[in-house]
Amino acid sequence: MTVGAITAFGYYKHRYEGISTKRVVIFIALLILADIIAVRLYTQSQSKAMWHFAGGCSVIVILYYLADIKKYRTQLNALLIMGLGFCLKLYYVLVTSVYTRQHDVRSFGGDSGHAGYIEYLLFEHKLPDFDIRERWQFCHPPLHHAISALWIYVNENIMQVGHNQARESLQTLTLFYSVCIIISAYKIFRYFGLNGKALYIPLMIVSFHPAFILFSGSINNDTLSAALVMGAVVCTLKWYREQSLKNIMKIALCVGFAMMTKLSAATVAPPIALVFLIVFIKKFKEEWKRLLGQFVCFGIVCVPLGLWFGVRNYIKWKVPLMYVQKMDKSELQYIGNMPFLKRITDFSLHQYASPYEQWAYLDESRAVQNYNEHNPLITIMKNSLFGEFINENCFHSGSYVNTVSNIFFWLNVIIAGTAFVSMIVICFKKGAAKLTEKMFLVSFYIMMMASFYKTSADYPFTCTMNFRYITPTVIIGAAYIGLALKAINKETIGGRYAAKSLYGEAILFSFSSGIIYLSLC
């Protein structure tokens, strides 16, 4: 197959680019020789995943240069960015297991955690017939766990894959969900007419963002929930431009299935309702009957999909609709002894001694930490890049990677600050986007952050300040950076400097992410 591809490539160069037969033959011979050497090195390598990463990147770059760059430059550049980001995510999945850096998964063969929930559905072929508060993480709606159970069943019983391998392959699903999030981000950027650097910069930030790399290998329900939420955002923007029944049904399905995956996905519902209300008021005289009919259809589909599991549990066991399993205050990560106001206003310098999230229970093995991370803003600046399981101990002592991590952290602070300022500026700037569209994205951002801070206050544990709950903020922030770049005058010195500096930051961000996660694994 490889030899055939190389020959086809040589023929293309000869036929369409006028390269002589002699040069093409030499070129093909050298490529085949390189392929033979590469195959031999691959079979002897202890890190085959790195070869998959390098090979995938090479294929994407070759296909990029074979395509009609002049005609489809924007699309191909975007595909190149997303493709390289995909290779990094695939590499991460190949070298991590379903037990590596997971959240609340516990272990397969047990009776709790997301793994226990998946296997309960797999073996029992029914929903929990007991009070879901009795088992850890069984309180979640079952869509993700049911799909995962079906995936394992098909792999084991139809594809004849071993049980352990079938469980490991669950990361195929979350990798797919993570890629769907990136595609949704691209659609949002294109919806707002972003092009050139205004498109490539936010796309690089999103495509190489560690939150989505970690999502690729995380087998809990966060990734599917975020993918469906971002699908709902895309469909809402499309409905705003064309208020058809087809478009609003897409929103209903995305929101309903997102809430059937994780109830906290409901944070996207109020911003969507705001768009509905604005359109309804604007077109009340001419189209109120048609729009009202669409809203009724939306509710008929969305509400049962999103709430049936919670209603079932309330009827059977009086479980509160918004039930959240509580943690014991005796946990070492409990931070409720510090007033919430002090937590959110404490920016003391010792918190920046390490770019990694701090946990008191790891003190014995880490030299610079002696506290639990408690400030939500500082926590997500760290957690968004490294999660809660990556720290100095993951790399060799004195490794250059720790230096890169420090640079990465401060670069992330700069980009996040730029995104926040861009959001404020664009909201008050006319012509950058329609007011309703801006209100939709900003209200969604505010809903997520308000929910995040409320959860941090109500459940004072370090683990509750995890960035995985608000990953769509990356996409919204990146979109506003793109809108700001689109709006600035690039003919001025300041405009050119802003575009070039942001472009450099995005490239450095992408390289830093690649270096850290390739080194990590």
pLDDT grade for 450, boundaries at 50, 70 and 90? very high
Q: What sign for the dihedral angle of Cα 251, 183, 205, 100? A: positive
Distance CA 132, CA 142 (A): 12
pLDDT grade for 334, boundaries at 50, 70 and 90? very high
pLDDT grade for 239, boundaries at 50, 70 and 90? very high
| Range among 10-19, 361-370, 388-397, 465-474 with highest mean pLDDT value | 465-474
Spatial neighbors of 308 by CB under 8 A, at least 6 apart, are 260
* Identity of the amino acid at 139: C
> What's residue 260's pLDDT?
97
pLDDT grade for 56, boundaries at 50, 70 and 90? confident
* Identity of the amino acid at 254: C
- Three-state SS for 115-143 is HHHHHHHHHHCCCCCCCHHHCCCCCCCCH
> What's residue 14's pLDDT?
56
The strand pairing partners of 461, in sequence order, are 334
* Identity of the amino acid at 122: L
Average confidence (pLDDT) over 303-307: 96
**Helix, strand, coil in percent for the chain, rounding step 5:** 75, 0, 25
- Side-chain half-sphere CA neighbours of 180 within 13 A: 19
Query: Which of 95, 108, 320 lies closest to 217, judged by CA?
Result: 95
Query: Which of 487, 485, 508, 479 lies closest to 497, judged by CA?
Result: 485
Largest CA distance in the chain: 80
> What's residue 484's pLDDT?
94
pLDDT grade for 42, boundaries at 50, 70 and 90? low
Q: Would you call 19 exposed, middle or buried from its count of C-beta atoms within 10 A (0-12, 13-18, 19+)?
A: middle
pLDDT grade for 23, boundaries at 50, 70 and 90? low
> What's residue 59's pLDDT?
84
Please give the mean pLDDT across all residues of the chain.
Answer: 90
> What's residue 236's pLDDT?
98
pLDDT grade for 282, boundaries at 50, 70 and 90? very high
pLDDT grade for 19, boundaries at 50, 70 and 90? low
> What's residue 327's pLDDT?
85
Residue 18 in this model has a pLDDT that exceeds 90: no
Put simply, whether the predicted model's pTM sits higher than 0.75 gets the answer yes
Residue 41 in this model has a pLDDT that exceeds 80: no
Residue 306 in this model has a pLDDT that exceeds 80: yes
DSSP codes, 391-450: -GGGS-TT-HHHHHHHHHHHHHHHHHHHHHHHHHHHHTSTTSS-HHHHHHHHHHHHHHHH
Distance CA 87, CA 67 (A): 19
Residue 467 in this model has a pLDDT that exceeds 80: yes
Q: What is the DSSP letter of 471?
A: T
Query: Which of 486, 364, 353 lies closest to 431, judged by CA?
Result: 486
Q: Are 325 and 136 in contact (CB under 8 A)?
A: yes
pLDDT tens string 65-114: 878 888 889 999 999 999 999 999 999 999 999 999 999 999 999 999 99
Residue 445 in this model has a pLDDT that exceeds 70: yes
> What's residue 49's pLDDT?
81
Percent of the chain with pLDDT over 90: 72
Residue 7 in this model has a pLDDT that exceeds 70: no
pLDDT tens string 104-157: 999 999 999 999 999 999 999 999 999 999 999 999 999 999 999 999 999 999
Distance CA 234, CA 184 (A): 7
pLDDT tens string 486-510: 988 777 787 788 889 999 999 999 9
Q: Torsion-angle region of residue 320: left (phi > 0), alpha (psi -120 to 50) or beta?
A: beta
> What's residue 32's pLDDT?
72
Distance CA 102, CA 137 (A): 13
| Range among 296-310, 326-340, 429-443 with highest mean pLDDT value | 296-310
pLDDT grade for 222, boundaries at 50, 70 and 90? very high
